[in-house]
Structure 1
């Protein structure tokens, strides 16, 4: 059975937002550029850290953005019934100062991952790959011209291909860049009574992780040259154990791990943890065994209980300090996607 396909036409320079058609041609200059700590060289792709879980991947002319959140220090988000979060940092770039964005990977429909300004401002034709729950909201928004028109839903372990039509015609016709996106399992609420209650109340939305494979279609067959696992807002749950089983013998080059130990209603009253803390983060690193890990989603809101220093400590104690790169907002990580 063939996978659903999305074609990104890079020759069409569309603005990322609908109200600000003028946009720069590139991201701002990174404060710091980092590479693999033990095996640098031949980098042809990069990840720019905006803040929270927002990153922008650049490769073969395409820009893919994860979980767009561009609120500023002091702004508030709604996280559930009676629960709000206050942003404590500023993003590395403002929403209306973004260059062209070609596609969005949205892990779930939560305001700290898709804030109210983003929802109001993004152009409606921007392709978004997300959960069925998020699509039900974004593709059916009330009001004339308010619905997003290119939302693609993936449930757990479903995949789709993203084909790339470059701005120029210089590439070889039998070697076309493409991306394979597969939804990974995730649980934002722990299983058991709380999970069952949340399923009924729908207070915290369902979430996906992602396996993003960058590579080339050669003679109509996709060959992966770099594999990125994005955890999404999940806890360390049994469902994650299926990931290394499904990808046995296939290297996972990079993991973007959502940390922070997010607690609701607040760290002062930590009744429920809904994202991994440092201890669970280490467990996930040991389970997935990626070549390298970059933590995100760790200090931007006042609902985080587990600081990045805790994760650094457990990684060091586990002898894994050479398997992690730490990015601050406006830092960039460069890596090499193999072409064969």
Structure 2
């Protein structure tokens, strides 16, 4: 599809549900945005907004196996870190998240500002900018980040966008990195209280971004399982040329 045409070696992704994935790369096992609560509960998102979790995880915590790090795009929304996900954080060697989130979580949490890096095993992890809402919304919605993953010897990266809309910060990723695989947070998050305002990308938004990034593989996540997601698989898929998106079967590891 893009500039990175050779498959990245030793890359397996398991979509567990919502934004939660288990990524194996370069011998390192990384868990993203852990959400493992059972469905049915309503969660507050602040300022009078809320959402119901409508689907549970495809894998329970007990079946995850070894976790070398948790990559947490942000800690303050339950569709990215619910109670069961929060309970597993202390069992990970390190939790990489926003600087403000690390301050709230304490313990093994390490904050990364955008473009700062850390190493887990031999995998270089760089935080990328994310904006979880419209311009000037950060004081209300809080900080979020994405992540790139570069295994040893690789000239390209895996990019986890995190919860974000399209803005200059995510476009900068395309200029700084050759991206092999994108784990793309979608869903067109909206709340009745805030009307048409979007807090994550829909398919149309993402299609323009992906055209600029030109990755080999695009794996959608964060499009199902919560009532505040307003665009699911069908809507997202319709926005892209046929065959662009790689849909994973939840709970099944897939080499990509």
Q: Structure 1 unaligned runs (5+)?
A: 1-38, 140-147, 165-177, 216-222, 336-340
Determine the C-alpha separation between the residues in 2 that align with 1:324 and 1:260.
14
1:243 pairs with 2:188? no
Work out which of the two has the higher radius of gyration on C-alpha atoms and give 1 or 2. 1
What is the aligned partner in structure 1 of residue 252 from structure 2? Answer: 331
**What is the aligned residue count?**
251
Correspondences of 1:77-96 after superposition (within 5 Å):
77-96=43-62
Q: For the Cα contact (< 8 Å) 2:73–2:145, is it kept in 1?
A: yes
- Aligned CA-pair RMSD: 2.2
TM-score by length of structure 1 reads 0.68
Correspondences of 1:284-303 after superposition (within 5 Å):
284-303=209-228
Correspondences of 1:113-128 after superposition (within 5 Å):
113-123=80-90, 126-128=93-95
SS at match of 2:22: strand
Determine the C-alpha separation between the residues in 2 that align with 1:160 and 1:74.
37
Q: Structure 2 unaligned runs (5+)?
A: none
SS at match of 2:249: coil
What is the aligned partner in structure 2 of residue 278 from structure 1? Answer: 203
1:132 pairs with 2:53? no
Q: Compared with structure 1, are the counterparts of its residues 238 and 226 closer, same or farther at alpha carbon in structure 2 (3 Å cutoff)?
A: closer
Determine the C-alpha separation between the residues in 2 that align with 1:254 and 1:125.
25
2:135 to 173, 177, 191: 191
What is the aligned partner in structure 2 of residue 210 from structure 1? Answer: 147
2:116 to 127, 133, 158: 158
Q: For the Cα contact (< 8 Å) 1:77–1:115, is it kept in 2?
A: no
Determine the C-alpha separation between the residues in 1 that align with 2:119 and 2:64.
25
User: 1:121, CA displacement in angstroms?
Assistant: 4.1
User: 1:226, CA displacement in angstroms?
Assistant: 5.0
Correspondences of 1:1-340 after superposition (within 5 Å):
44-109=10-75, 110-123=77-90, 126-139=93-106, 148=107, 150-162=108-120, 164=121, 178-192=122-136, 195=137, 198-199=138-139, 203-215=140-152, 223-224=153-154, 226-247=156-177, 251-265=178-192, 270-316=195-241, 321-335=242-256
Deviations 1:173-231 (A, max 9, x none): xxxxx111111111112114xx2xx51xxx3221101111112xxxxxxx226510111
